[in-house]
Structure 1
Amino acid sequence: MHRLSRYILAAVLVLATAPAAFAGQVVDRVVADVNGEIVTLFELNQRVKPYLERYKGRQLTEADKASIMKLKHKLLDGMVNNILIRQEVQRLGINISDVEVDNEMESYKTRANLNGTSFEKQLTLEGMTVDEFKQKLRDDILRHKLLGYMVKRKVAVTDEDIQRYYDEHSYQFRGDRTVDLSLIVCAEGVDVDNLRDRIAKKEISFADAADLYSQGPGMGQGGRIGEMSWGDLAPEWQSALDGLGKDEMSQPFFIQGHEALLYVNQVESEGTQPIEEVHDAIYDAIYQQRLEERFAEYMSKLKENALIDIKL
C-alpha cells in the first residue's frame, strides 16, 4: 500500500483578487510591518479570496464578518511567519536554488502519480499557477532547511521514550492493522470546532458534512478515502487517530496547513508486533512531534525578537 496519507493533499496558498462584497473598502494599505518588510491589504486579500466563495451572492451577517476577520488574522499570521523564516535563512546564509525547487516539484508529481497535463489540471482545480506552486515549495524547502540548521540538533529521542510510547500505544502495533477512514479537509473559512460539535451532536452526519464542507479527497463520496495500513499513515494522522475505535471521530488537526477531521469507519487487526519491529516507526513519530514543538518555540522567539507591527 502506498503512503497515501502523505500525498493526498498538496499545501495550497492561492492568489486571487478581493471579492466584490468588499469593493467599497480601501483597496490597499499596509497591514503588517515585519522588520521593515511590509504586507499589504491587497496581498492579504489575494490569500483570503479563495476561502470567501461560499459567501458569494449573499448579504454578509455580523457573524460572517467576524469569521472573515478571524480568517484574515490567521492568514496574516502565516504570512508574517513566512517573512520571518525568509529573513532568518538570509541571516544564516541558507540558500535554495531553482534546481532544488524544480527537483522537488518533479518528486511531488512522481509521488502523486501526476504527469505534466494532469499536474496542471490539478493546479487549475485548486486555483493555483505553476509559479505559485513553486513559491510554496520554495517556502517549504526553506522551512525544512531552517529546521535542519537550528532545530533538529535540539531534538532527542531515548530508548526509554520509545518503550513508554510502545506501552501507552500498544493497540497501534497489532499486526496487519488497517483502518477504513473518511476525511474532511476544511477551508480556512470553515469553523472546524463548530463543525465537529455539530457532527458529534448528530445535527449533521460526517458524510454530509464532508460533501458540504470538505475540499479534500472523497468529496461527493461522504469523504471516504478507504482502507489504509496503519504503518502507511503519516505521523500526524496516527496522532489524530490515537485511541479511536470504530465510528469515532478525531479532534481537529492540521494537514499541510489545513484543518481536518478523520472518522474511523472500521478497524481490523491481528496480533501485536514486538517493539523491535516498530522501534523505528515509534522513533519517527516521537521525533516529528518534538521537532514541531521545537520549531514552534523557535518561531515564538523569532517573533519576540522581531519588530512586528500589525495594522489590520
Structure 2
Amino acid sequence: MRMLLSCLVGLLVFCLPTLLKAELVDRVVAVVNDEPVTLSELNEEGRDFFRQIIAKAPADQLEAALDKARREVLSSLINKKITAQKAKELGITVADQEVDEAVNSIMTRNNVSAPVFKKDLEAMGSTEENYRRTIRDQILRSKLLNQEVRTKVVITDEKARAYYDAHYTGKKVTQGYNILQMGFSWKKTGDGALEAAKTNARQRAEQAREQAVNNGNFRELAKSYSDLPSAAEGGDIGVIKEDEMAPYMRQTILAMQPGEISPLVETDSGYQFFKLLATEQGGVAPYEAVQEEIRELLYQEETEKYYEKWVKDLRKQYYIKELL
C-alpha cells in the first residue's frame, strides 16, 4: 500500500494530550478571511509530524520543537484554506465521481478490494471519510494549479538541453551503471491466490512499461505505480557496480545500451524492468530518450516555484490572523 501511505496525511493527536497540549474544548487558531482554522484541524494535519518530533527531539528541546512544528503546520493549513477559497472564487469544484474514480484507481493499482482497503485505513487509525477528503483536496489543488499556475510555466528546448548537458553528458559515470527501475510485487499466499496475484503484478508491470516505452516519463510513472522503495525517488537507484547487482539485474543491464528500457524480468517476488541512463564505458542516454523526463522534472520545479510565489501574493491580498 505504498500509494496509500503516501496519500495519508493527518490524524488526531489527542492521544498525546500533555505533549501536544490538546484541549478538551476546540478553539480557533487562525482566521483566513471569514473562515476559521481550528485546533482540531491543526492536530489532525500534523499528527505524524508531531509524533516524529516527540520520538526524536531531546527532552529539553521538545516544547520549542513542537511549537515550531505547530506553526509550520498552521502555515500549511492557511495555504490550503487560501487555495480552496480561490478555487471556489474561480468556480473550480471536485465532483464525487472524480473522488470515486481516484480512489478506485488507487485500489486497482494496489490490487486491494474495498473491504481490505477500509481495514487498512482503520489499521492506520484513519477512516474512509478522511481519506476521501484528502483525495478531494489533492484533486482540487491540481485543478487550481492547472488553471492558475501551470499554464504560465514554459520549459524551452534550450533549458532542457542545458539540463541534459549538465546532468548527463557533463556528469560521467566512472564506475558502474546509472539505473532507473520499477517493480511490481505479489503477496505469497495459497497457490490459487498466488497465481492471481502474479497475473495482476504482471499486468500492472506490462501497462507501466508500455507507457514508459511510448515516451512516458519513467520517473513519474515509477512514483505512481512501482511497489519498490525506489519509487519515492522516481525509480532512481543511482550508480550500481556490476558486482553489486543481483544476477537477474546484471544479466539484463549488461545487455542494454544507454537510453533503453529492458524487457520484464521475473524475480522471486515480482516483476521488474529497468532504464539504463549511463555506463562506466562512457555511454549516456541520448537526449531523445530522456528529454520528456527532463522537461517534466524542470516543469515540476518551475511549477512549484511559481506556486509558492502565487500563494505568497494571495496571502498579501487575504485577511489572515494567526491565534496560535
1:5/1:234 contact within 8 Å kept: no
| CA pair 5-173 structure 1, distance change in 2 beyond 3 A | farther
Asked if 1:13 corresponds to 2:19, the answer is: no
Asked if 1:304 is matched to 2:311, the reply is: no
Structural RMSD (CA): 3.9
1:112: Cα distance to partner? 2.7
> Which residue of the partner structure matches residue 109 of structure 2?
111
Equivalents in 2 of 1:24, 1:98: separation in Å? 33
Cα deviation, residue 37, structure 1:
0.5
Q: Secondary structure of the residue that 2:14 maps to in structure 1?
A: coil
Q: List per-residue Cα deviations over 1:202-232 (Å, max 9, x = no partner).
A: xxxxxxxxxxxxxxxxxxxxxxxxxxx9944
Mapped to 2, the partners of 1:161 and 1:6 lie a distance apart of 31
Distance 1:160 1:177, change over 3 A: same
Secondary structure of 2:92's match? Answer: coil
Q: Give 1:269 shift.
A: 4.9
| Equivalent residue, structure 2, for 1:204 | none
Structure 1 match to 2:163:
165
Give the number of equivalent residue pairs.
240
Deviation at 1:34, TM superposition (A): 0.3
SS at match of 2:149: helix
**Mean alpha-carbon deviation: is it higher for 275-284 or for 6-15?**
6-15
State the 1:238 CA deviation. 5.5
Deviation per CA, 1:43-83, whole angstroms, max 9, x where unpaired? 323334455557889xx934111111111111111211111
- String of CA shifts for 1:26-46, please: whole Å, max 9, x gaps: 733221000010112233233
Give SS of 2:6's match.
coil
The CA deviation string for residues 233-290 of structure 1, in whole angstroms up to 9 with x for no partner, is: 5499659979x7679xxxxxxxxxxxxxxxxxxx995332111121111111111111
Q: Does 1:134 align with 2:132?
A: yes
The amino acid across from 1:13 in the alignment is G
Map residues 80-229 of structure 1 onto 2, 5 A cutoff. 80-170=78-168, 177-178=178-179
1:31 aligns with 2:32: no
Matched, 1:272 2:311: no
- Report deviation, 1:179: 5.9
1:283 is aligned to 295
Distance 1:98 1:70, change over 3 A: same
Query: Under a length normalisation based on structure 1, what TM-score does the superposition of the two structures give?
Result: 0.65
Q: Distance in 2 between matches of 1:56 and 1:100?
A: 37
Name the aligned partner's letter for residue 179 of structure 2: T
* 1:117 CA drift (Å): 3.2
Deviation at 1:5, TM superposition (A): 8.3
Paired residues of 1:101 and 1:134 also in contact (CA < 8 A): yes
1:154 and 1:5 mapped to 2: Cα distance? 32
State the alpha-carbon separation in 2 of the partners of residues 30 and 9 from structure 1: 28
Structure 1 gaps, min length 5: 181-228, 248-266
Find the structure with the greater CA-based Rg.
Answer: 2
Q: Which has the higher contact order (CA 8 A, sep 6+)?
A: 1
- Residue type at the aligned position of 2:110: A
Cα pair distance change 1:92/1:25, threshold 3 Å: closer
Taking the aligned partners of 2:4 and 2:297, their CA distance within structure 1 comes to 18
Gapped regions of structure 2 (runs ≥ 5) = 182-211, 225-230, 242-275
Q: Which moved more, 1:269-278 or 1:40-49?
A: 40-49
Task: Please give the alpha-carbon distance, in whole angstroms, between the structure 1 residues aligned to 2:299 and 2:68.
Answer: 32
Structure 2 SS opposite 1:104: helix
Match of 2:102, as an amino acid?
Answer: E
Q: Percent identity?
A: 28
Q: 1:151–1:294: 8 Å Cα contact kept in structure 2?
A: yes
Whichever residue aligns with residue 160 of structure 1, its letter is E
CA contact (8 A) 1:173 1:273 kept: no
SS in 2 for 1:46: helix
Rounded to whole Å, the distance in 1 between the matches of 2:12 and 2:30 is 18
